[in-house]
Chains A and B, each alone.
Chain A
Amino acid sequence: DTGVSQDPRHKITKRGQNVTFRCDPISEHNRLYWYRQTLGQGPEFLTYFQNEAQLEKSRLLSDRFSAERPKGSFSTLEIQRTEQGDSAMYLCASSLGQGEAETQYFGPGTRLLVL
């Protein structure tokens, strides 16, 4: 079992550019979550999928953010027209998706710096 993986691990971009991150969950996990974390804070929920269906999206998430999970396996998170305030660690987590109160297992994260 290789755990949750994310790519890239680090991304530096200029303001206004688009970026895309990828997450591969644990193979038998049906649920996939995206979070954002800034220094000294806990993770902030962005969105989650049950298989390929996006079931919830944070109201804090602007229209510049979009996520997909087309085949119910890996997921991508795209940020369009990046702003300096988007600089953060973007975390992906997965869980089995067979119950309701399940443990989420996190990937190593993608650290984004917007200049």
Chain B
Amino acid sequence: GQNIDQPTEMTATEGAIVQINCTYQTSGFNGLFWYQQHAGEAPTFLSYNVLDGLEEKGRFSSFLSRSKGYSYLLLKELQMKDSASYLCAVMDSNYQLIWGAGTKLIIKP
């Protein structure tokens, strides 16, 4: 079967750095997406990785290792507005997105 694993919840301090991990087992791989979702709102696109390595976009970076079936999202200089759920999704061989359950990130002052 297809499976995406990410921690249920994480807590971090304002101004700090946090890394949210995602491991996956899917039938085929056509890229990995990270989305941010604030409570009661729709997911918003953060990043896309299809090749191994690190993609940096401002305070957010995303890393992929296809051989390990592993990705992480790195958030730097955390702000209170970063409190949200972070969803990892893999595009499988049929170009369908397989979603993790999301990691709820709590930022404390």
Chain A residues within an 8 Å CB radius of B31: 101
Chain B residues within an 8 Å CB radius of A106: 35, 42-44
Report whether A42 and B101 are in contact in the complex, using a CB–CB cutoff of 8 Å. yes
Interchain CA distance A40-B37 in the complex, whole Å: 11
Report whether B96 and A45 are in contact in the complex, using a CB–CB cutoff of 8 Å. yes
Residue A105 at the B interface, CB < 8 A? yes
How near does chain B come to A104, taking the closest CB pair, in angstroms?
7
Chain A residues within an 8 Å CB radius of B30: 100-101
Count A-side interface residues using an 8 Å CB cutoff: 18
Which residues in window 55-109 of B have CB below 8 A to A?
A: 87, 89, 91, 94-97, 99-102
Report whether B95 and A100 are in contact in the complex, using a CB–CB cutoff of 8 Å. yes
Which residues in window 98-115 of A have CB below 8 A to B?
A: 100-101, 103-109, 111
Interchain CA distance A56-B42 in the complex, whole Å: 22
Report whether A42 and B87 are in contact in the complex, using a CB–CB cutoff of 8 Å. yes
Residue A43 at the B interface, CB < 8 A? yes
Interface residues of B, dominant DSSP: loop
Residue A62 at the B interface, CB < 8 A? no
Report whether B42 and A101 are in contact in the complex, using a CB–CB cutoff of 8 Å. no
Q: Residue-by-residue, is A69-95 near B (CB-CB < 8 Å gives 1, otherwise 0)?
A: 000000000000000000000010000
A103 partner, pick from B8, B33, B99, B102, beta carbons under 8 A = B33
Chain A residues within an 8 Å CB radius of B100: 42
Interchain CA distance A33-B11 in the complex, whole Å: 32
Q: Which 6 residue pairs are nearest across A and B when measured between Cβ atoms?
A: A42-B99, A106-B42, A101-B30, A101-B31, A100-B95, A109-B42
Give B residues with C-beta under 8 Å from A.
4, 8, 30-31, 33, 35, 40-45, 48, 50, 87, 89, 91, 94-97, 99-102
Known: A42-B102, A106-B35. 7 other contacts (CB 8 A): A41-B101, A103-B33, A103-B45, A105-B45, A106-B43, A108-B42, A111-B40
7 contacts between A and B (CB under 8 A): A41-B102, A42-B100, A43-B43, A43-B97, A56-B94, A100-B95, A108-B41
